[in-house]
Amino acid sequence: MRIHNKLDEILNQPAKVKILRFLFSSNAEFTGRAVARGSGLSVSHSYEMLQDMRKEGLIEVKRQGNALLYSLRPDNYIVKNILKPLYQKEKDIYKDIIIIIKKILGSEKKGICSIAIFGSVAAKTENFTSDIDLLIITRDSISKHKVDNLMDNLTAIMAKKFSVEISPYLLTVSEAKNKYKQKAQLMRSIIDNNRLIYGEPIERILA
């Protein structure tokens, strides 16, 4: 077994990273096809990676009838002490971003009706160049101006902590309703794909 630079061996291929992420999402046992489907890989590629990780001692295989079931080895040192905390931290990134957004904008929460993330981050299709598209609907123009004054601080913190840019879309309630009535493409897209993080659902505001 390799002792030094162990992560070079485990995380040297994106397919392994995807399979491990899927297995950490549940403590269940999965067939090879279920692992491939959950990881977004072909069955053959998934099988190859599973065999590698079995040899590395990260997963165990159990036969049930004609099926082989794969699961993580919970007592394995690498799984328990390195990979599990690593994937949990990865999972917490989005939560930590939401906490910061709500904290920074919280000083003007009385004037905010809704805050929602939309676009690629909401759809979980973002890449390393993606911004965080943030819709903020305020009660009136005064509140909109106050929130706008907070955006520089929020943008700076996000860039420093997460190396990501915030792309704010600030609207008052009346502006949002007008855009919706005018069937503005962006507003329609937001309605179809958004993740509410504060306040009333966008659909309810526009009704």
Q: What is the pLDDT along the chain (207 residues), one digit of tens a residue?
A: 556 577 777 778 899 999 999 999 988 999 999 999 999 999 999 999 999 999 999 999 999 999 999 999 999 999 999 999 999 999 999 999 999 999 999 999 999 999 999 999 999 999 989 999 999 999 999 999 999 999 999 999 999 999 999 999 999 999 999 999 998 899 999 999 999 999 999 999 988
Per-residue model confidence (pLDDT) at position 26: 86
* Residue with token string 């950490």: 24
State whether CATH 3.30.460.10 applies to domain 93-206. Answer: yes
Domain limits of the chain? 6-74, 93-206
* Gyration radius of the chain's alpha carbons: 22
Q: Would you identify the CATH topology of the domain 6-74?
A: Arc Repressor Mutant, subunit A (1.10.10)
Query: Alpha-carbon distance 175 to 178, whole Å?
Result: 5
Query: Alpha-carbon distance 84 to 65, whole Å?
Result: 30
Strands (E), 32-153: 59-64, 67-72, 112-118, 132-138
SS3 content of the chain, % helix, strand, coil (to 5): 60, 20, 20
